Amino acid sequence: MAAVIDPPIRHRSGVVVYAVVASLLALHWLLAVSSKTEESTTADELAHLMGGFTYWQFNDYRFQPENGNLPQRWAALPAWAMGTKFPEIQGSPYWRTSDAWALGHQFFYETGDDHFPRLMAGRAMIALFSVATGLLVFGWSRALFGTAGGLVSLGFFAFCPNFLAHGALVTSDLCMVFFFLASVGAYWRHLHDPRRRWWLLSAVTFGLACVAKFSAVLLLPMMALMTLARIAAPAPLVFGRRHFATRGAKLAAITASTLGHGFVAVVVIWAFFGFRYSAFNPALPPADHFLRPWEVTLGHIGMQGAVIHALAGWHALPEAFLYGFSFVLEMSQMRSGYLDGAYSITGWLRFFPLAFLYKTTIPVLLACVAAAGWAAQRWRRAAKWNAIWPDLYRVTPLVALFAVYWYISLTTRLNIGHRHILPTYPVIFILLGALGGWLAGRRILGMAVVAGLLSWQLVEAVRIYPHYLAYFSPLAGGPSQGHRHLVDSSLDWGQDLPGLKAWLSQNAAPGERIYLSYAGSGEPAYYGINARRLSFINGFKIKQPWYPLEPGLYCIGATMLEHVYSPIRGPWTPELEKEYQWMRSFEPAFLEYFSNVASREEMDRAATADKWQRAAARHEVLRLARLSHYLRARTPEAEIGYSIFVYRLSAQEIAETTAGTYEQWRAAVLRVGGDPDK
């Protein structure tokens, strides 16, 4: 592609430029990976790594098919190559029910092998996708704005806290970021270069995107927008040795080419699932169903479910691929979300714009303003559409990616994390390469502005290290105030158990009670945290005993503190208070049931064990919700990685907030500056 800036900036392809690029990418990889060496397993990593391992080891595809076969295989490749021990599958109830979480817990913590080296190896593998994304950012920006622009873009990317946070986690996010950018770029190049190599590269890249994450379906409207732009362009379309001059001929040729892309994608998908329809390997111990049975998932997605059911009947695509797609469709219809202290299961139009504002560094925001000013000034000088059109045409694939993705993001009900808009950031970084002209022009003021913004970006990355997941802009109050705006994968994904252990070792008094409410898939016992467990998001089928609350250290993850995934969200109402006080009358029975085996057997004859467990769990949820209203207003003793809050509670505080009357509870909340009605 020709450069946008006039006059074109010559590419300085010398050793110095390549050395700078290599150094920035190496530093990006090192910062991303090293920041994870003291982080526990984040929520999704356990299932992703275990799922990818079963693809290699067993040629079985039932576990986590909704999260992309390619990134899970890629991350698990070192663990599989090292011959990692897997839990016994013969007779395993978790194998039969495809429970990736419970089996993943066994894979990580119960085989006798240390899971952390293979987890870090998987994280390092995923970080290569982040590096590859950075390379695309540099190359694309360089093509548009010259070498100086490419280096500016790469500098903003390399020190972006959000890419340093997610760039080395065993998830599908960074893999899909790479393939979104690579696919639109390859497709656009194919529409302008008649050589077959570009068609093949574009088709294969699209196919790999389809097995990276199901959001790859958004590439289709992106391709449609690029097709419209190419048809509108006056230059004839050339495929091979054939020329297509009219708009109708162009459309027909591109349609045929895109259908060819679809054929290649189908072959790639079948290849990643072993060219077998069934997700279940018949040579292995039998399994009953996917984690969520097919009929349940298909019944919740309407007409789309009917189409997928028909495709499954025809064996048009592998079973695990079709199931994974239907699972994603179902989960996207309704999901608990949290934003600025509010809760929703259908999302907000403002969620992602605010998430972008909260999680984007100020230097990037200022650079966007500066780049927009540069474009406005340039186009004002041009004054004619035929002078502006070439600039817009050259960035068509970037505009298509950004516009389609943001439109879907604004209209989706899935508001669970800032990470879901990461694919749009490379577009921004590439376009910020326009500021490279200020460096190349050697104007003192322009050079100072660009150098200052890049230096500020570096400072932001260094200052938050290693807690990149907890990065929040000063516009949102910084990381210490992040939990008031966003939680889950935007802040608290269960990564700070090692930090909690280190703090407890230094600050917990001998014999002091420790309570933990945690949102993640890490195992506290692995880190030597001896705590009484309160509500956990994922108990891995470990039945939790009921405990009376005593004075001590209460360690509450931000996601649990805000009760995002709890059945009790929002204000503490008189109705909840009435239910809680009624359930408090059962506390002596709960204590007897969970502490005395002989009594338990007798009590199970009066009510089933399942009823006792469910009643105790409901009481625990109510009790923690009531306590959390107080804790959210109270100043903690410590903030571990900004994601786990530690409170040292006295007997009086426990009595007032969990055992006192409604009036006593309200008075306690008011005393620490809270609002009991919120």
pLDDT exceeds cutoff 60 at 11: no
DSSP strand pairing (342-344 vs 337-339): antiparallel
pLDDT band at 446; cut points 50, 70, 90: confident
DSSP per residue over 329-357, as a string?
A: HHHTTS--EEETTEEESS--TTHHHHHHH
pTM of the model: 0.94
Residue with tokens 């008649």: 194
pLDDT exceeds cutoff 90 at 604: no
pLDDT band at 150; cut points 50, 70, 90: very high
Give the pLDDT confidence of 640-654 residue by residue, as tens digits: 999 999 999 999 999
Res 539: pLDDT: 66
617 or 28: whose pLDDT is higher?
Answer: 28
Task: Give Cβ neighbours of residue 239 (< 8 Å, ≥ 6 apart).
Answer: 194, 199, 253, 257
Both tokens of 131, joined, read: 């590096």
Res 538: pLDDT: 67
Cα 48 to Cα 168: distance, rounded to the nearest angstrom: 13
Domain ranges of the chain: 15-85+99-277+349-433, 496-671
Both tokens of 122, joined, read: 């998987």
Phi-psi region of 253 (alpha: psi -120 to 50; beta: other; left: phi over 0): alpha
Residue 150's nearest CA partner among 28, 335, 4 is 4
Cα distances (angstroms) measured from residue 183 to each of 70, 256, 632:
15, 18, 45
Give the pLDDT confidence of 246-288 residue by residue, as tens digits: 999 999 999 999 999 999 999 999 999 999 999 999 999 999 9
Res 386: pLDDT: 67
Both tokens of 66, joined, read: 């909704």
Give the pLDDT confidence of 387-411 residue by residue, as tens digits: 678 888 999 999 999 999 999 999 9
Res 125: pLDDT: 98
In degrees rounded to 5, what are phi and psi of residue 645? Answer: -105, 135
Q: Count CA atoms within 13 Å of residue 228 on its CB side.
A: 8
pLDDT band at 541; cut points 50, 70, 90: low
